[in-house]
Every structure is written in C-alpha cells, then in structure tokens.
Amino acid sequence: QAGEEVKVTMVYNLTTAADIDLHIYGPEGRLVWGRRYSRGTMGGQAGYNAVSWSGRDLSGKVVGNGLYVFKVIRGGRAIGQGVIVVLD
C-alpha cells in the first residue's frame, strides 16, 4: 500500500551471466530507484534471478500510488521489463 513499506520481488531469467542495472520508473516516467547487480551474483547470474525492492525511492521515501515500470538493462540496453502497481 502507498505510504507503507512494501517488498516487491522482480523475477527474470538471463541466458548468460552479465552485469545488470535494474531501474524502476514512476508514473511520470522519472527514475525512482535503481541498482546494479554484478555478473554471477543474484540479479546478474545466468538463469533465474529474483531481486527485491522496498517500495522506496532514491531519497528513501515510500512511493505513492501508481503504475511503475521496471527495466532490466544490460550494456545500456533494456532486455526486459515489467509492471508494478502500487495501490492503497
């Protein structure tokens, strides 16, 4: 729920291990959160990856209601994406 800390798990598969950037964009299209995952670690390993987001933006504030898009980025190119819905 908006205003409360939540835990969202994003799941994706990679064909090969790679350095990965995971970005989350808010309803207005602005980057609200991002993290880098190193090749071979959870988030950057070949096969199954599951990474968590607390529902907080880069300044530590809990995000509001809306539709958020996450992008899996390798080498500066989005290789996957998904949608997160935050509702009260």
Q: Residue 77 has which token pair?
A: 């190119």
Identity (one letter) of the amino acid at 24?
I
Higher pLDDT: 61 or 7? It is: 61
- Tell me, yes or no, whether 2 lies in a domain: no
Q: Could you list the residue range(s) of the whole structural domain that residue 22 is in? A: 8-86
Q: What is the dihedral of CA 34, 87, 3, 66, to 10 degrees?
A: 50
- Tell me, yes or no, whether 1 lies in a domain: no
What are the pLDDT digits (tens) for 21-79?
A: 999 999 999 999 999 999 999 999 999 999 999 999 999 999 999 999 999 999 999 99
Rounded CA-CA distance 70/80 in Å is 8
Domain count across the chain: 1
